[in-house]
Structure 1
Amino acid sequence: MLTSLALKVALIAPITAIALVAGDIMVPRDAMVFQMLGTNEALADDDDDDDGGGSRGSGSFRAGAGWSGGKFPFRGLLPRRGSLRRSQPPAPAIQAPNEIVALGFSPAQLEQLTASGFQVLGRAAMATFDTEVIKLRIPSGLTLDAAREQARTLAPQAIVDFNHFFRPEQRAERPCAATDCLARSVIGWPSAQDWPGACAGGVRIGLVDTAINPEHDAFEHGNIEIIRLADEELPESGRQHGTAVAALLVGSATSRTPGLIPAGKLIAVDAFHRAGRQDDRSGAFDLVRAIDLLAGRQVQVINLSLSGPPNLLLERTVEKMGERGIITVAAAGNDGPKAEPAYPAAYEEVVAVTATDRRKRPYRRAGRGEHIDFAAPGVAVWTAASVSGARLKTGTSFAAPFVTAALALLKASKPELAPAQIREMLTGSVEDLGDPGKDPVFGWGLLNARAICETVP
């Protein structure tokens, strides 16, 4: 007679064989096999707690209890007409496949390029540089690297690079364990009842983000101006990210999502478009134009809750902002602690912000590195939803506005100080977490709004 263990294996083996022949292996199969064999071994999980749990309808199997939730467990093991092997979605593109962008071409140089097969797709004046930014389609049969090198050789004085894509930095929401979901309480930011109070101020903040819902109750006092910059022929980006970030900054004090500076003025540039399902992106061409536009509107701080690869035009643009006394703040990125530095946060002139949870622990998906400057709440942050009401948001995108608001208040109180001096003021008022001094996880430390409010007159 078969032993109990051997009997289990004999029963499972044919099921496994069917799955392999069908070419449609059921996801929980291996875990089910281990549990039916009575072992304690478990398969690795992706630890996706910040995304609010596993996929819908996946179900689970427990020895002695059978299948719980989801679809019938053996259905996925049988052949299905027209069934295709499931595959992972392709990685998002990091740049336009056949475009370069440039600052500083002379008319003669541009004429030479077009004569050799380059096509002008867009051009716009950049007041910051007193020149034009130009987007070019490269000639057919020429690689991006070769096209960039040809343009740089022709115009050594110009700044030339690919038209890199930049994306919002957010993750799915997770439940709020506390009754008060206002993350500002962790850092002592004044509540809505305190306005006007110690931290009220008529500041001007710039924002480059996705589309925003101007009809949301958070903007009932008209303290936000929205400028659509992306090509009107392209699909509008989603409103979830931009609305949430804008409300965090200047949401009405009487709304369900009071902003950090309800009395502030926000000039928001929508420089994004939707390229695919939930793929909101802004090319470097649009991003640098948006920053230049904000510089011309006398903003004191610019919030960039987005990230992408290094780009020469973007690097030079944020350098110019510092020269003009404008502070640029960016999200550190959500690709994990071992990821390469995200840009523009990793540029020297940019204030890089990472995220923490309510227990002041680092957000596990936040980028790390020597470029990190400050930490702020970024896990389960209560802010405006895209249509009405509010939702919880997670990601370094939602930590950046806290630091933007703090720097804006300091800059408004001492407009004569350079960005580096304002950053130094903020450094002296943070809560040092992690290793003493500046470290790659928290930067200088967690934002302490109590000290900031004491500094602002």
Structure 2
Amino acid sequence: MILLMTILRRWRLAWSGALLLGAASAGAQLVPGLPGGSGGTGGVGRPSVPSLPTAPTPGVPGVGDRIGDVTSNVRGAIDPVTGRLDPVRASASELAAARIYRLDELVRANRERLEMTDFGPAVRGQVIAVDPDPATLHAALTAGFTRVAEERIEGLDIRSVTLAVPRGWSVNRALSRLRRLAPAGRFSANNLHEQSGGASAAGDAALLVQRGGAPGSAIGIIDGGVAAHPSLRSAVQQRGFVAGAPRASAHGTAMASLIAGQGPVRGAAPGTPLLVADIFGADPAGGNALALTRALGWMVAQRVRVVAVSLVGAANPLIERAVQQARARGTWVVAAVGNDGRAAPPAFPASYPGVIAVTAVDGRGRVLIEAGRALHLDYAAPGADMGAAGGRGAVVAVRGTSFAVPLVAGRLAQHIRAANVLASLDGEAAQRGARGVGRGILCGNCRTPIRNASRR
């Protein structure tokens, strides 16, 4: 009990800081592991995590590939047969405790690459200056920061300068110092974003790489890599933005099938070409803010009009600027509200202005008990009692707000040429005005029946 109270005090402090600075992070969802994988956590490239104990266990190895699902990492939270969440284990305190354990373990397992900041894990010893002017850079360098890298983000008018913090300083201390030195400057940690769905990629999963199709007509996915599956017959292009990418992941594959699936899984926009940006790969620091920004810039450069982002993390000035510029160039971003429950702070990027924020409903049209929130909510879509593409051609049961995003993205793409895109999309939304579903529920008939999905 003392341990739990300590954890909850830390969680409340994190919430307070998030609300003061407009920052937040939110959890993830569940998709069973691809056959052959370890199950329970997402993607590839990070050590697998055992089921989360009810108290910390000394020497617990590693942390999940994609940080994982806050509910799937609590032992017994989801019934493996029914897929239903135990509402007791899904309480706010359990979700908070599970998330803190999970993130702490991620940093502990990758101390050389990561450190814990006020708003979650970030790349160790680095801060990012966004479009800094000469005076800002001079002040930083004079204070002992070192310029590590500088780039113009492809497709976006953004200049990013990565600075190494002075030796012995934490990222938190470095950001505090920079904001005092240059109050008008924009600085951020290179925060990690959670791949919002717990899943494991099979080691023998073949990466799906198909060339062809007009990029401008494609729907974008920023996630893990996409594996071959009988449901995926459309043109697919994949590009990696971190070490070991692109690389097949269960979560990315499920996302792709829910957008473009034909056959065992039918997506919201069957046969639509896909551009996939893998920002996780085999990198312990996968999902970082700089990789996500580069991926979005690539989508904009390829004239992609709709991008699905089932990732959640802290508010970040670099990503916020990238989203602003993407919208100004005609690209819509669709993002999940996360899975840490309604008591969690608002999720990002879903909470940025202009982003389509999505929650999920079950087979009865009820908002999922574990669904998080954003500063605004646009739509809901199915996120439970359904199947998606898994490994070796299987259809697997999935659950979470993560899997509502590709359904909304697929439908949004069908209205993209309308004079008023959202008004046109509203025309097919059900339960408009109902509590908790934003502008309404989209794609309510898009579920692949659960009876066709394998049980794990």
For the aligned pair, the TM-score class normalised by the smaller chain equals 0.5 to 0.7
1:132 corresponds, among 135, 159, 165, to 159
Measure, in 2, the Cα distance between the counterparts of 1:423 and 1:447: 12
Instruction: Provide the residue aligned with 2:121 in structure 1.
Output: 95
The Cα shift of 1:204 comes to 1.9
Measure, in 1, the Cα distance between the counterparts of 2:79 and 2:339: 12
Measure, in 2, the Cα distance between the counterparts of 1:340 and 1:148: 21
Unaligned 5+ segments in structure 2 are 1-52, 55-73, 84-99, 107-115, 201-215, 446-456
**SS of the residue 1:399 aligns to:** helix
Q: Mark the CA change 1:271 to 1:342 in structure 2 (over 3 Å): closer, same or farther.
A: same
2:329 corresponds, among 317, 324, 328, to 324
1:381 corresponds, among 379, 382, 386, to 386
The Cα shift of 1:48 comes to 2.1
Deviates more, 1:90-99 or 1:298-307: 90-99
Q: Where in structure 2 are the equivalents of 1:13-412 lying within 5 Å?
A: 48-49=77-78, 52=81, 90=104, 92=106, 93=116, 94-96=120-122, 97-106=124-133, 110=137, 113-114=140-141, 116-152=143-179, 158-171=185-198, 203-213=217-227, 215-221=228-234, 223-232=235-244, 239-251=249-261, 253=262, 255-274=263-282, 281-368=286-373, 371-411=376-416
Letter in 2 for 1:228: G
Measure, in 1, the Cα distance between the counterparts of 2:391 and 2:183: 45
List per-residue Cα deviations over 1:397-448 (Å, max 9, x = no partner): 110111101111100x33xx4xxx3123323432126xxx264x21122115
Q: TM-score, normalised by structure 1?
A: 0.64
The Cα shift of 1:306 comes to 0.8
List per-residue Cα deviations over 1:321-374 (Å, max 9, x = no partner): 221121110011011122111111112211111111111111111113561211
The Cα shift of 1:291 comes to 0.6
Measure, in 2, the Cα distance between the counterparts of 1:209 and 1:158: 30
List per-residue Cα deviations over 1:68-109 (Å, max 9, x = no partner): xxxxxxxxxxxxxxxxxxx96636552324221222134675
The Cα shift of 1:50 comes to 5.4
Q: Mark the CA change 1:360 to 1:101 in structure 2 (over 3 Å): closer, same or farther.
A: same
Q: Mark the CA change 1:300 to 1:236 in structure 2 (over 3 Å): closer, same or farther.
A: closer
Measure, in 1, the Cα distance between the counterparts of 2:178 and 2:300: 28
**SS of the residue 1:264 aligns to:** coil
Q: Mark the CA change 1:237 to 1:158 in structure 2 (over 3 Å): closer, same or farther.
A: farther
The Cα shift of 1:171 comes to 4.8
The Cα shift of 1:248 comes to 1.5
Measure, in 1, the Cα distance between the counterparts of 2:231 and 2:147: 40
Letter in 1 for 2:236: I
Instruction: Provide the residue aligned with 1:427 in structure 2.
Output: 426
Q: Retained in 2: the 8 A contact 1:375–1:442?
A: yes
List per-residue Cα deviations over 1:290-333 (Å, max 9, x = no partner): 11111000001111011111111111211222211211100110
Q: TM-score, normalised by structure 2?
A: 0.64
Rg larger for: 1
Letter in 2 for 1:49: I
Q: Mark the CA change 1:261 to 1:377 in structure 2 (over 3 Å): closer, same or farther.
A: same
**SS of the residue 1:295 aligns to:** helix
Q: Retained in 1: the 8 A contact 2:219–2:273?
A: yes
Q: Retained in 2: the 8 A contact 1:168–1:281?
A: no
Measure, in 1, the Cα distance between the counterparts of 2:390 and 2:145: 43
Q: Retained in 2: the 8 A contact 1:101–1:163?
A: yes
List per-residue Cα deviations over 1:168-227 (Å, max 9, x = no partner): 112579xxxxxxxxxxxxxxxxxxxxxxxxxxxx932111001222x3333344x11001
List per-residue Cα deviations over 1:92-132 (Å, max 9, x = no partner): 55232422122213467546644643344444322454342
User: Share of identical aligned residues, percent?
Assistant: 30
Structure number with greater CO (CA < 8 Å, separation at least 6) is 2
Letter in 1 for 2:271: A
Measure, in 1, the Cα distance between the counterparts of 2:181 and 2:301: 31
**SS of the residue 1:207 aligns to:** strand
Letter in 1 for 2:423: E
Unaligned 5+ segments in structure 1 are 1-25, 28-44, 55-86, 174-201, 451-457
RMSD over aligned Cα atoms: 3.2
**SS of the residue 1:139 aligns to:** coil
Q: Retained in 1: the 8 A contact 2:139–2:182?
A: no
